């Protein structure tokens, strides 16, 4: 939990400790869980502070803001994930600047990202975003649409299918949180049986990362607990 008087090192250590303890309880290795620092609206200087502490993977929601930061921090060799809803008019910038896109949810976006990925960047890592709760205001495909999207992604050499991402509706209590992440893990396992490149479940944030780890998440998206309130 974010504490105002903590410095960046203390905040990062606190999040890492939560991950370590949750992995111990789940009988998992912490090395199997990636921490993605969600840096939307945060200044490049705050990102640099975390980089100097060893954090190398960052997630962004807003394309124009992200591209400016990617260019400003190009000397650091970071890995950038796009995690916001993908608009058709922003696919070129995403394809050109990001290493991962975690929020693909329709075939049109698959085609545009593949067509616009520069040949010298290598394959763009792709996660399919799943709308687990059928929330009309939230991006993501329905569970029954996952396989068709996966096949569309695999058909394009410019893209590499890596797994699933989800942002479940908030739930009270560990049992309810774990139940929804268990549903995601079931969908992931079915996908991994059919597609050898699938290895990533991006799920779990500051409020539910323990439940996500317990149910197999391999990547956590944490923002405020690392950076403090948005700038």
Summarize pLDDT for 207-224 with one digit per residue, the tens: 899 999 999 999 999 998
3-state helix, strand, coil in the chain (%, to 5): 45, 20, 35
Is 126 a domain residue? yes
pLDDT in tens, 56-92: 999 999 999 999 999 999 999 999 999 999 999 999 9
**Residue 3 lies inside a defined structural domain of this protein:** no
User: CA-to-CA distance for 147 and 143, rounded, in angstroms?
Assistant: 9
Q: What per-residue confidence (pLDDT) applies to 4?
A: 63
211 occurs within a structural domain: yes
pTM of the full structure: 0.95
pLDDT at 65: 97
> If we measure between CA atoms, which residue out of 149, 166, 163 comes closest to residue 204?
166
Residue 98 included in any domain: yes
Q: What angle do CA 79, 82, 86 make, to 5 degrees?
A: 160
pLDDT truncated to tens, each residue of the chain (231 aa)?
556 667 899 999 999 999 999 999 999 999 999 999 999 999 999 999 999 999 999 999 999 999 999 999 999 999 999 999 999 999 999 999 999 999 999 999 999 999 999 999 999 999 999 999 877 788 899 999 999 999 999 999 999 999 999 999 888 888 999 999 999 999 999 999 999 999 999 999 998 999 999 999 999 999 989 987 665
Q: Tell me the pairing of strands 124-130 and 219-222.
A: unpaired
C-alpha to C-alpha distance for 103 and 156, rounded to whole angstroms = 17
Phi, psi torsion values for 189, nearest 5 degrees: -60, -40
Find the CATH number of the domain harbouring 104.
3.20.20.10
The pLDDT of residue 158: 98
Query: Does 112 fall in a domain?
Result: yes
Decide: helix, strand or coil at residue 80: strand
SS3 170: coil
Could you tell me the residue range of the domain that residue 105 belongs to?
A: 8-226
> What angle do helix axes 146-154 and 174-194 make, rounded to 10 degrees?
40
Encoded tokens for 100: 């991962």
Q: What was the pLDDT predicted at 62?
A: 97
Residue 117 in contact with residue 95, Cβ under 8 Å?
yes
The domain tally of the chain equals: 1
The size of the chain, in residues, is 231
Query: What are residue 214's phi and psi, to 5 degrees?
Result: -60, -30
Beta bridge partners of 34: 219
Q: What is the pLDDT of residue 3?
A: 63
In this prediction, residue 177 carries a pLDDT of 93
User: Who contacts 17 (Cβ-Cβ below 8 Å, separation ≥6)?
Assistant: none
- According to the model, what pLDDT value does residue 88 have? 96
Instruction: Determine the Cα angle at 221 with ends 116 and 127, to 5°.
Output: 35
């Amino acid at each position: 939990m974010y504490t105002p008087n903590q410095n960046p090192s203390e905040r990062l250590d606190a999040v890492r400790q939560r991950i370590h303890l949750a992995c111990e309880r789940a009988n998992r290795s912490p090395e199997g869980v990636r921490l993605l620092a969600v840096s939307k609206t945060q200044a490049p200087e705050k990102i640099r502070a975390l980089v100097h502490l060893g954090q190398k993977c960052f997630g962004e929601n807003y394309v124009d803001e992200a591209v400016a930061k990617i260019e400003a921090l190009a000397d650091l060799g970071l890995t950038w994930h796009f995690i916001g809803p993908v608009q058709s008019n922003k696919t070129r910038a995403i394809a050109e600047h990001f290493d991962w896109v975690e929020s693909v949810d329709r075939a049109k976006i698959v085609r545009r990202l593949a067509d616009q990925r520069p040949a010298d960047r290598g394959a763009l890592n792709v996660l399919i975003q799943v709308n687990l709760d059928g929330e009309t205001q939230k991006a993501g495909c329905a569970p029954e649409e996952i396989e068709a999207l996966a096949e569309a992604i695999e058909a394009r050499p410019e893209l590499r299918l890596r797994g699933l991402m989800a942002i479940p509706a908030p739930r009270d209590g560990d049992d309810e949180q774990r139940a929804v992440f268990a549903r995601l893990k079931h969908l992931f396992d079915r996908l991994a049986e059919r597609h050898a490149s699938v290895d990533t479940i991006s799920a779990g944030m500051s409020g539910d990362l323990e439940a996500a780890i317990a149910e197999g998440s391999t990547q956590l998206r944490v923002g405020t607990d690392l950076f403090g309130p948005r700038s």
